[in-house]
Structure 1
Amino acid sequence: MINLPKLNKIDFLVLICVLIIGLINLPFPFAGDQALFTTGALEMQQGKVLYRDFWDLKQPGIYYFYYLAGSLFGFNDIGIHIFEFIYMMLFSITLQLTLKTYFRHQIVASLVPLLTVGVYYIVSYHKQFTQVEGLVSFPLFLCLWLTHQSFNHEGKQRFIQLLLSGFTGGIVLIFKLIFLPIIFCFWLTALLHSILIKQQKAKKIVLEICLPIFLGIIFPILFIIIYFASVDSLAIVYKTFFVYPSQVVANGKLNKSRLISGNLWFLKNFITLIVMAIVAVNVSLRKNKNLLTLLLVVWFVFGLGVIFIQIRSLWIYHYLLLFVPTGILATKGLDILWERFNELSSPIIKILLSLLFLSPLLWNFQVKSIALVKNNFALTEDTRFKYQTVFRGDYKLLRSEIGFLSQPGSLPGAIFVAGDPSIYYFSGRTQATSLNAWSLELFLPDQWPQLLEELDSSKPPYIFITNKYHALIQEKFPKILELIEKRYHILSKSDESESVWYILN
């Protein structure tokens, strides 16, 4: 159906570079989000049902990813990162195989993985790795590329391409429903191209465009619906997907500080790529009207819109949604300027220009590489822990916080943590309630009584609460603190972590 070119020697050299960059990042520590996903995926493996027994606001795609990663390589930071590394290397190969014809110079075409996946690994730290926005880029790109391929075909071939595009689009939505505007605009572009350029009839458009996309997208979504119906959880899934998100946004305010910090982070790390991408858009879109360039611009523009819609979040990792279109367009800009670059007579000027182009990325790569070398490549558990504390200073404190849980005489059973889920990860304890308390500030009014009821019935032997969340609980629903004061007494306080451990009376 689709004839793909073969990889050449330069392709393999670039893939080796990406491989090395990726390997440097394997020992990176978890942040709270990754610890939460790992805890949830581990509970899924133990037979619990997502949303019913372990609730989170996110769609299930990220938990399925961690479940598969943990089942194959272990429910720990190395296991999850190895699976992500394999996933990203497959993505790199896919980029090289699918984008050859997009570039004039094959040496430039080989660089696409370096300026996308390679950049992802260079700019990301513990809070950015294995997040939804980075992982979803693979199926999102496949959806875009298959849509673009359909522009040049008719009949059965086009039907199959758009069927697959719809299927990958459905996978994107399983990761995050809010990405719908991006993939919808991919398909809308194909629809408008058929109407305005090819001037096809309505019947043909419905049969060759709308029908295969619908069939493709409905299959993964139907699979999710059937599964949650079989475990009698459709009601909570519906609320999680459609009711809670709108209420969270309605009850929230724009987080200006995160908006500023996110934009600054993106500009700091991607500024030279953005400049090259602007060159590509100016030449490839304005002068040549390249449809693939148009789809990449659609991805970037609507992706930026999706980021800004999430007014209560606006985390830095959200901007990873843009690393693929930015990297591909930057490579296209390099492709356009390649001949002028080769015309430069002085090799020193070429080197200086190359360093200028890579300068925002070289610092991060240097910091990570030096830390890895200083800690003997993090090959043992001790050296890996030392390496991880370089990038996450509170790792040592978190480990000391949970030391008593593994001591002889400690009470067995699941615990409750109103704070960083890394405590679950380090202690090996599971969560005593279905509701996690990692983002209590996003709790809706009806979730507070549910949390009280679950704490009352589960009676976790230990409860951990940070001072920040203690004040929030006191403000939002003090009955939880009344229950804790009645049934528990303080085991320890920590001024360093600003938290309290409670033990069951």
Structure 2
Amino acid sequence: MKCISKLNKTDFIVLVVIVIIGLIHLPFPFDGDQAFFRLGALEMQQGKVLYRDFWDIKQPGIFCFYFLAGTLFGFDEIGIHIFELIYMVFFSIILLLTLKSYFRHQIIASLVPLLTVGVYYTVSGAWHLTQVEALVGFPLFICLWLTFKSFNNEGKQRFFLLLISGFLGGIVVLFKFILLLIVVALWLTIFMYSLVIKRHGIQKILLDTCLPIFIGIMLPLLVVASYFVWVNSFSIVYQTFFIYPPLIVTNTVFNKTNLISGIKWFLQSFYPLILMAGVAVYVSLYKSKNTLTLLLFVWCIFGLGIIILQRTALWQYHYLLLFVPIGILATKGLDVLWDYLKELRSSIPTILLIFLLFLPLSLTLIKKSATLVNNNFALTEDTRLQYQAVFRKKYPSIHFEANFISRFGSIAGDIYVAGDPSIYYLSGRSQATILRGWALEYFLSEQWSALINQLDSSKPPYIFIDYEPQAIIKENFPQMLEFVEQRYQMLHQSNNGIWYKIK
């Protein structure tokens, strides 16, 4: 079975460009989510058990990614982003090796990493980098590709392809359970293909298709479940994944503001690729009935559905779930148009198309590059902070808050921050409680009571309450503010929030 091609010179040039684009983003600051993932990964590295000793509602995949990145390259912004760059370069190589036969023109095939990984880096800010939706594209693509290759194979080869596809599907689910909808949709296409096109019987489909997929997906899930059973934490993990999410959805409302903001960002960032992808879907799906195009289109449709289902969040970075299929389909659209463009007597339409496709992305990348150069490549602590402040305006003030409790004479120990976890990272301190101080709007009533008990038990020397979480606390559980006022004294008040010191 010939399914992987070799790299050519153009491919290597493209990979060099991807590396350069990625290097521009190495000094990017953490946003709150990234600082929180890093905090959880660091707690794991220090021997704590996820969910039992450090709680969050997200699945373990993202914390394991940060754990591996931090262990290899350091638990700071540079270390995490270096690992992500290696991850994305490897992903780019896989795209080049597996998709050669999908395109008619090899020069166009070489562009697929630029229109996927390159675009991801270009449109992403501090908030978007190393999010679940961005990282999951790699295993999800391999799952899709293996499913696609199994269409034209039988016997042991087909069984093995679907076994690995199932395994990668399990990895995807460990990043986010709701993504199971996408992998199931991909597998349903091969089920229908076997049933309708090849006219296989149900028993044969169950043995040749469903069995290897089931075995594959269960392997990583059973390994993770076994670990939490071994550390006596399975009950809290079960509650976190299956009991809390429906309750949170019931207690929160549809976020219309985030929906509008997310769609606006998505269209502004990806509209050139969406237009090109539309060409690919029309020509490659409706005219030539290409199966790989169908699978990529299924990914897009179910990905959009998953984004909408997360109606209480609908953050911009959720749309990064689509950067891989849209980028591949956009490359296919360019591949389709290439024949027509070559036949034109004038090169003006080609130049105009390239201009319209790449100009918005190029301007964004030029701005990022110029900012890095203007700040001496962010090589020192001062120049790095200046560079980071451009892409996260609040970063200098968060630095101030972190430095405030690191002054001479400060009390040592873990702290509690009701607000941005970047304060933990920048102050070099850990979280004193099991429950987080980030995204308090999703807390359930029993978690508020548990949080007070944890604060009472751990007695952190300092507590910081941001003004926005303060309003959430006042509305949902004012007893916490009463607890803080009884046990702590106000130490400092800034534009961000209030520092309290234990009495």
Corresponding residue number in structure 1 for 2:435: 435
Match status 1:504 vs 2:502? yes
SS in structure 2 at match of 1:406: coil
Q: What whole-Å deviation, never above 9, does each CA across 1:316-346 have from its counterpart, x for those lacking one? A: 0000000001000001100100011222333
Q: What whole-Å deviation, never above 9, does each CA across 1:349-386 have from its counterpart, x for those lacking one? A: 43332111112212211210110110111122221111
Cα deviation, residue 245, structure 1: 1.0
Unmatched segments (≥5 aa) in structure 1: none
Quick one: which amino acid aligns to residue 237 of structure 1?
Answer: V
In 1, the alpha carbon distance for the partners of 2:220 and 2:47 equals: 22
TM-score (norm: length of structure 2):
0.99
SS in structure 2 at match of 1:465: strand
Q: What whole-Å deviation, never above 9, does each CA across 1:286-330 have from its counterpart, x for those lacking one? A: 011111000000000000000000011100000000000100000
After TM superposition, the structure 1 = structure 2 runs for residues 287-326 of structure 1, keeping only pairs within 5 Å, are 287-326=287-326
SS in structure 1 at match of 2:492: strand
CA contact (8 A) 2:3 2:98 kept: no
In 1, the alpha carbon distance for the partners of 2:2 and 2:485 equals: 66
In 2, the alpha carbon distance for the partners of 1:71 and 1:115 equals: 31
Corresponding residue number in structure 2 for 1:74: 74
After TM superposition, the structure 1 = structure 2 runs for residues 377-396 of structure 1, keeping only pairs within 5 Å, are 377-396=377-396
CA contact (8 A) 1:491 1:502 kept: yes
| Cα RMSD after superposing both structures | 1.0
In 1, the alpha carbon distance for the partners of 2:279 and 2:273 equals: 10
Quick one: which amino acid aligns to residue 357 of structure 2?
Answer: F
Quick one: which amino acid aligns to residue 449 of structure 1?
Answer: S
Match status 1:200 vs 2:200? yes
Quick one: which amino acid aligns to residue 499 of structure 2?
Answer: W
Unmatched segments (≥5 aa) in structure 2: none
Q: What whole-Å deviation, never above 9, does each CA across 1:393-451 have from its counterpart, x for those lacking one? A: 11111111122322221111100000000000000100000000111101011111110
Provide closer, same or farther for how the CA distance between residues 411 and 168 of structure 1 changes in structure 2, counting only shifts above 3 A: same
Cα deviation, residue 2, structure 1: 5.6
In 2, the alpha carbon distance for the partners of 1:382 and 1:241 equals: 42
CA contact (8 A) 2:341 2:349 kept: no
After TM superposition, the structure 1 = structure 2 runs for residues 61-140 of structure 1, keeping only pairs within 5 Å, are 61-140=61-140
CA contact (8 A) 1:144 1:186 kept: yes
CA contact (8 A) 1:270 1:360 kept: no
In 1, the alpha carbon distance for the partners of 2:479 and 2:3 equals: 64
Corresponding residue number in structure 2 for 1:419: 419
After TM superposition, the structure 1 = structure 2 runs for residues 398-477 of structure 1, keeping only pairs within 5 Å, are 398-477=398-477
SS in structure 2 at match of 1:356: helix
Cα deviation, residue 493, structure 1: 0.5
Runs of 4+ in 1 over 4 A off after TM superposition: none
After TM superposition, the structure 1 = structure 2 runs for residues 177-256 of structure 1, keeping only pairs within 5 Å, are 177-256=177-256
After TM superposition, the structure 1 = structure 2 runs for residues 320-359 of structure 1, keeping only pairs within 5 Å, are 320-359=320-359
Corresponding residue number in structure 2 for 1:152: 152
Quick one: which amino acid aligns to residue 261 of structure 1?
Answer: S
SS in structure 2 at match of 1:224: helix
In 2, the alpha carbon distance for the partners of 1:472 and 1:308 equals: 24
| Paired positions, count | 503
In 2, the alpha carbon distance for the partners of 1:323 and 1:215 equals: 29
SS in structure 2 at match of 1:503: strand
Deviates more, 1:141-150 or 1:201-210: 201-210
SS in structure 2 at match of 1:407: coil
SS in structure 2 at match of 1:489: strand
SS in structure 2 at match of 1:464: strand
SS in structure 2 at match of 1:214: helix
In 2, the alpha carbon distance for the partners of 1:3 and 1:472 equals: 54
Corresponding residue number in structure 1 for 2:162: 162
Cα deviation, residue 121, structure 1: 0.5
- Give % identity: 61
